[in-house]
A = this chain, B = another copy of it.
Amino acid sequence: MSKLVTLRKPAECATDNTMCTASLKAIQDIMDILGGKWKIAIVTCLCYNPRRYSELLKLVDGISGKVLSRELKDLEMNKLIVRTVKDTQPISVEYAITEYGNTFKELIQTMAEWGIKHRKKIIGK
């Protein structure tokens, strides 16, 4: 039941390569699941509201149908989202964030805030 890595305060590990390597490994893990051009955007979308395939296609600017469906499959495999087929006419499919995927919301919020600050710093100067 040992931890894979324990992050310590900067001052404590200033020269510690082991900590760095361990963090890199953890970062690697998360990037495997959420890396790439689109996954974080899709999860962000679904954090706010469940969406249908066609809605996502419009919301996630620039993504193509092929790529969207592939990314959705990946995310579903990792249990971040669920796919629900609704028996309407014609059929409709809803993608929603899982309880688990929802634990990612805090991270998204932090990232979004950072993005806003950065824009102010670089562009809004």
Chain A residues near B (Cβ < 8 Å): 3-5, 7, 10, 13-17, 19-21, 23-31, 33, 35, 37, 40-41, 44-45, 47-49, 59-61, 78-79, 100, 103-122
The complex places the Cα of A109 from the Cα of B105 at a distance, in Å, of 15
The complex places the Cα of A3 from the Cα of B59 at a distance, in Å, of 21
The complex places the Cα of A13 from the Cα of B111 at a distance, in Å, of 18
| Copies per assembly | 2
Residues of the B chain whose Cβ atoms lie less than 8 Å from the Cβ of A107: 107, 110-111, 114
Q: Tell me whether A20 and B59 are in contact (CB under 8 A).
A: yes
The complex places the Cα of A31 from the Cα of B20 at a distance, in Å, of 22
A32 to chain B minimum Cβ distance, whole angstroms, is 9
